[in-house]
Amino acid sequence: MNIFSLATKNLLRRRVRTGLTVTGVAIAIAVLFSLLSFNAGYERQLSGELGSLGIHMLAVPKGCPYEAASLIIHGGVIPRYLSYADLEQVAKIDGIEVASPMLLHQFYKDDKPHIVYGINIEEQKTLKPWWKIEGRYFKDDEPGAMIVGRSLAEKENLKVGQVLQFGPDKVPTTIVGILERTGNQDDEFHFLPLSAAQRIFGKEGQLTTVAIKVKDVSRISEISKKLEEIPDIQVVTMTQVMGTIMNLVGSAQALLFSVIIIALFISAVGIINTLIMSVNERTREFGMMKAVGASGGDVSRLIIVETLIITLIGCGAGLIAALLGSKLVESFVRGVIPYSPAGELISIDPSLVFICIGFALAIGLLCSIYPAVKCARLTPMEAMRSDLE
């Protein structure tokens, strides 16, 4: 027999209470872990997604607020346009590697929004070198050809060679390729040659935005100043876009976290209460142990070991529950947060596991210190009597 088996037997004596306390710890840890994982995964996905756009800035029509600019990236459409003259001026600026004009058009099919991107394919391939395709890319002067994103293809059951009809004139367009999954919003879009898209949707000579890649990232702010000198143009850099999205997300996150902190606090108080109660009602036993030779330290150690067993088992159960339930949490959080990136939101980071174990240990120690010290200080008779009072 050792102190560990003695503690375990003591805990098994009150199975229901021990079970409930463990459950309380487990819930607190599961919530903490899910939310921390979500937060880490969310930020990583978001910045990863923005980085993988391969675009450093967007030139957008003046009067277009940042929020609208962030919409553009995810397929929102704004009712103002740039002209080819603007594009020429942009392309002239020194330090720009690629300036690729794009037209975005949104239409509804079966009440679901669909996004069409008119693009110059060779430029897009430079901006997005990770694109891979099943089938082939269209050529810029190939009307009636298109490519689609992987998720869209799966949702709509689209195959290479299939023909879709676009625009008011129902122009037949053949799918010549399907993009391999990118993990970002490109998976959801239709891509047409820019000129074809302009014609189909009646937007000849109009551009929604010019996507810009610079030669040297450190010159982004200098180049963006030069771009802003062009009268019709406003520049949005990706860091600004990210900042805007983060602001939108931040308030929802703050609410979420305050709820969690309150939940954790309540569960910690509950755990402390249960532990103090279970120690108090056994004070006489601790008195007996002291009479038969236990030191104050022995009694404290027993109480602390018992508490740590509870909190660590609870922590383990909570982590397992959080891992199993991460999909559930993800779908819940997607409903609450205003913008959520594609891809896995919950990221299981080993350091978060350690944070949670640390949190559980801290709760365990915090909860056990008071009763442990109190019990250790009593003389054997005080302990034995206190039970009777």
Partner 1 sequence: MNNVIMSAKGISKSYQRGSEQVHALREVDISIQAGEFVSIVGPSGSGKSTLLHLLGLLETPSSGKIQIDGREMSGLKEPDLVKIRRGSIGFIFQQFLLLPTLSVRENIELPLLFSKKKARPGRIAEIMDLLGLSERSHHLPHQLSGGEMQRVSIGRSLINEPKIIMADEPTGNLDSATSEKIYELFKMLNNNGLSLVIVTHNMELAGMADRVVRLKDGKIALN
Query: Which positions touch partner 1 (CB under 8 A)?
Result: 1-3, 6, 9-10, 12-13, 284-285, 288-296, 298, 379-382, 384
In Å, how far from its chain's centre is CA 62?
31
Nearer to partner 1, 9 or 92 (CB): 9
Whether the Cβ atoms of residue 325 and residue 301 lie closer than 8 Å to each other:
no
Reading the block at residue 389, the tokens are: 């009072």
Nearer to partner 1, 4 or 354 (CB): 4
Nearer to partner 1, 12 or 217 (CB): 12
> What backbone phi and psi angles, to 5 degrees, belong to 194?
-55, -45
Q: Give the nearest distance from C-beta 320 to partner 1 in angstroms.
A: 27
Reading the block at residue 323, the tokens are: 């891992």
Nearer to partner 1, 298 or 344 (CB): 298
Closest CA to 317 of 309, 327, 305: 309
Q: Give the nearest distance from C-beta 299 to partner 1 in angstroms.
A: 9
Kind of pairing between the strands at 190-193 and 145-148: antiparallel
Q: Give the nearest distance from C-beta 295 to partner 1 in angstroms.
A: 4
Q: Give the nearest distance from C-beta 1 to partner 1 in angstroms.
A: 5
Q: How far apart are CA 295 and CA 103, in angstroms?
A: 80
Q: Give the nearest distance from C-beta 379 to partner 1 in angstroms.
A: 5
Whether the Cβ atoms of residue 133 and residue 175 lie closer than 8 Å to each other:
no
Reading the block at residue 115, the tokens are: 């996004």
Whether the Cβ atoms of residue 284 and residue 384 lie closer than 8 Å to each other:
yes
Q: Give the nearest distance from C-beta 316 to partner 1 in angstroms.
A: 23
Nearer to partner 1, 10 or 267 (CB): 10
Question: What residues are paired with 235 via a beta bridge?
Answer: 59
Residue type, 155: K
Nearer to partner 1, 2 or 218 (CB): 2
Q: Where are the beta strands (DSSP E) in the chain?
A: 57-61, 96-109, 112-119, 133-135, 145-148, 163-166, 171-179, 190-193, 209-214, 233-237
> What backbone phi and psi angles, to 5 degrees, belong to 53?
-65, -25
Nearer to partner 1, 10 or 253 (CB): 10
Q: How far apart are CA 328 and CA 333, in angstroms?
A: 9
Which three-class secondary structure state does DSSP give residue 378? coil
Q: Give the nearest distance from C-beta 288 to partner 1 in angstroms.
A: 4
Nearer to partner 1, 207 or 289 (CB): 289
Q: Give the nearest distance from C-beta 154 to partner 1 in angstroms.
A: 58
